[in-house]
Structure 1
Amino acid sequence: MMSFLKKRGWVFGLILLAIVFPFLSQNDYFLHVLTLSFIWMIAVYGLNLLAGYTGYLSLAHAGFFAVGAYALGLLTVKAGINYWLALVLACLITCAIGFLVGLVALRTKEHFFAIYTLCVGYIIYLVIDKWDSLTGGVRGLIGIPAPANIGPIAFDTDLSQYYLILFFLILTVLVMYRIVHSLSGRTFIAIRNSEELAQTIGISTMKNKLLAFVLSTFFAGLAGALYASFIRFIGPDIGYITIIFDFLTYLLVGGIGTLAGPIVGTFLIVTVSQSLQFLQDYRMLIFGPLLTLLIIFYPRGIAGAFIDWRMKRSLKKSVAMKQKKRYVQPQADSDTEKRIKEG
């Protein structure tokens, strides 16, 4: 019970810190960078659900991120649809494409699945880049509107969009927590641990893998749509393969298969990379070896290492308590025998 209260206290503390951050720092650049990192976190949560909890590494995640961004951009700019309806439709379009891709991709396993999804992601990038009449090609898509007002609440400033995207991030974390701790989440973990064993106990692995894949694309599409409305301009580069490797880096550093990993890894890497900007082209010479060492010595990432440390600590405490009880019990028995003899 106490551990649950402590965990909930940490969560509320982080949310409160995120809420008051704009008042603590008046730097608009920091606010802009932190808002972008919130968007990356939402996308990485989708990747974590599939790779971390189901065991299937999709390299098409950046492509689905671009699909969500372009879907929102095209629906608002060219079709003139209301922003909030376009946001919902962008997520649904991304899920529909993800469903069709997943039907084929999930018939493969391991590195074949990764290679296939990498090809799918690159095909999405090429479609966006070459279909000039629809996407604008290399010129990109400009004039994407900011989120529409909700009654008296307007989202035409960076501060208001910061809180809007923070709201979606908190909602994403809550939904992900419910998924992971539900029967479906345990099914995903069973497939990750041993797909053959999961089949023998009656789990429909294809159905559950497809569900995880579609949910993963949903979060990617949501992040892409929020990115489009925040930046107000998008180009085909947002679907290039370098973006998926950035997502993977955030996930591996933070902790794959953990709820806190996407937040920890994204925030840490974005902060460090921004701090090393003064080194320009040489910053990767420092960042690269540090990242390599971290992955070698902490394969489960920072959040995973913390979880392992806490489990070892609780195990040591339980062993110490058992040893103490074993020592106290004979002592109490001997004192009782002495009293009986004296009596």
Structure 2
Amino acid sequence: MLTAVVVGAAGYVGGEVLRLLLGHPNVTVRAALSRTFAGHRVDGVHPNLRGATNLIFAPSDDIPASDVLFLATEHGRSAELLSRSPHIAQSAAIVIDLSADFRLTDEALHQGYYPKAQRPLEWATTFVPGWPERHREALRTANRISVPGCMAMAGMLALHPLAAADILEPDVIVDAKTGSSGSGATALEQNLHAERSGAMRVFAPHGHRHEAEMAQSTGLRVHMTATGVEAVRGVQVLCHARSREPIEARTLYRIYREAYGNEPFVRVVAQRQGRYRLPEPKILLGSNYCDVGFALDPEGHRLTLIAALDNLMKGGAGNGIQCLNVRMGWSERLGLEFQGLHP
């Protein structure tokens, strides 16, 4: 039985990691760490875990040895921990970072998007991207894994097959919408219910940090906007692109099917009719699926590529567990069997 420790376990992503690990047949949670709630019961912060655990939050600087260490911290905290206490990385055979601290390999790019996250330079390229659909072979032996951001994950899954086939013009506009849980468990004034309810707030009209991840992984010039909507969970991205040559819908469908036909958690959803004919976050909540689809203009040049996922699952904790399953040689579906809800 694998032992796991979760740092930042009181947050939304950390709580989701705990929920998944507590139901995982091959993992036992050794410790859940929190700076704010040390000494408090885990199920007092995550009431959905009542009856599932008697764990008490431990101080976040007191990290016991384990087989796998999940870092579900705010941006900059993972790098801070590893810089201040390098032995932390040796406390576990496998480190899975769910923050943004090691997502970007180029140091200048990282400093441009995350100027406050000072990371050990020698570690900048040691983390394997936690993207099973593209980096599965590297993940099989990886001991340091960096899970992509939620909107970035959706955008990369939508864009990558066509970028790899060199079908797209280099400039792409990504319009992302996200629920309030994407802002984390510590609500700032703009995320209070009275301010957020009923709103569709453009909080990043340009230059959102996730565009750097998409550009790094696809080779495209990505220009991203992000809007907060009234949902609690869920991400939907619309990638507006142009094809180099006219293309038919059946060709797009074939490319996506070839890329994702055997993937356990990516589904191609591009139907001509029906209430859920294109990817919709609502039916994915609580699941580790990402649905991808597309729409095409009559001339075959203007493409709208669409992806949807649960930001706390395939956009965070669930993807981290999938990476662990790959690393350990287990079924990728282990502990991730939930299909989502409808209605």
- Per the TM superposition, whether the score is higher than 0.5 is no
Larger radius of gyration: 1
TM-score scaled by length of structure 1: 0.25
Larger strand proportion of the pair = 2
